[in-house]
Amino acid sequence: MTAPLRLGIAGLGTVGAGLIRLLSDNREHLTIALGREIVVTAVSARDRSKPRDCDLSKAVWYDDPVALAQSPDIDIFVELIGGEEGAARAAVEAALKAGRHVVTANKALLARHGVALAGLAEQNDCALDFEAAVAGGIPIIKTLRESLLGNRIDRIYGILNGTCNFILTKMQAEGRPFAEVLAEAQKLGYAEADPTFDVGGFDAAHKLAILTSLAFGTQVAFDEIHVEGIEHISEADITAADELGYRIKLLGVALRTASGIEARVHPTMVPKHSAIAEVSGVTNCVAVDGDRVGTLLLVGPGAGSEATASAVASDIIDIARGGGVPPLIVPVAHLKPHRRAKIGEHQGAYYVRLSVFDKPGAMAAIAKRMGDRGVSLESIVQRRAKSALPGASGRGEPGAPATVTLITHETTEEAIRGALDAIESDGNVSEKPQMIRIETL
């Protein structure tokens, strides 16, 4: 049997502790399967005294993760610190320069510095593996790097953030407002005290940036992704979607177009009958359209200590077996520049919600603005605001804005946005128009 594979783990939160437990619990099975033992020889974290649900008695403690990354007593540096700069970046760079293999779950680091880090790994003949950085326990990175290498990928999309999916699922199932469900998500630990990173779509965009590079052989380009969050999704939108035969999901979508790569994160209406509409709670999913296999859909836990630790362990096992796939599938020198398709050129159908003042000519003016930009309407539904006054009939309060829901035929993003800007500037609506793209998956 060959010498043990020695790990240095930086970051001992829930994932780090979960990884150590996994390696301990499955020690005998892994040793037999790999022909060598995997041992945790060194660790690093901010607080040495913090209680942790794992055995660290045989590991050397490093206060400085960079020193751990450079240690000659490890073969693989496992970075579970998080963050795109600071200690995480410094330690990963130090490990690669020192000739250590790196396994990381850090999506933000890869979305910002993936090309540079992949270059360092190639220069120093090191592995840089990151299965846990996208979609938790779903093996999408390995699928793209290995299983689908013989395919031309034309589109990749999915639910990439469990927090948003939990919120939208609860809003739909229980008829509750966004703020109330967000508070529950925070209480359950699914959302941070400052939830902007999740509900604003940025977490999903980091993951989509990585998937886009792997799928299309382009440089990682987080800043080229169009990002919208779910903060403005209302109960009215959820109800309208349900009545129209849709569910609202926050999707990350990347596809090839004639003008470049169209990469976007935003709320999307998907048909109720589609498989992706049935993905609920904190579950993630990723769909890949390949020219040989057609569409594959991978569904599973997108976060959590055990699922993420499983993904980290899969990378460690690949390295133990001598896997040698370039970090971004093709060598860095062969990555194509990311050529961004203009979001205004996106074509599709749209859902629009307007709060229209009850005054003569308002609807005619709205229809004209749509027509001026060539936007054809498939349906129009109007609901007058209910009166809160005692004894009111409930048929609607005279003079109050009416909620008008529009579904367009296929049009361009540029056309619908132009029409909505004009409608808002006309003064016929009481609030900013709501627009949600419709995807027929």
Q: Which residues are catalytic?
A: 207
| β-pair partners for 260 | 257
CB 195 within 8 A of CB 163: yes
Beta strand pairing call for 260-271 and 434-438: parallel
Measured CA to CA, the distance from residue 227 to residue 100 in angstroms comes to 35
CB 346 within 8 A of CB 263: no
Residue 294: left (phi > 0), alpha (psi -120 to 50), or beta? left
| β-pair partners for 269 | 248, 438
Say whether 366 sits in a helix, a strand or coil.
helix
Nearest to 34 by CA among 235, 350, 319: 319
Helices (H), 284-437: 305-320, 362-372, 413-426
Say whether 384 sits in a helix, a strand or coil.
strand
The conformation of residue 144, written as its DSSP 8-state character, comes to I
Q: Which two tokens stand for residue 62?
A: 């490093």
Q: Which two tokens stand for residue 399?
A: 């003079």
Residue 99: left (phi > 0), alpha (psi -120 to 50), or beta? left
Q: Which two tokens stand for residue 408?
A: 């367009």
Nearest to 408 by CA among 361, 367, 357: 367
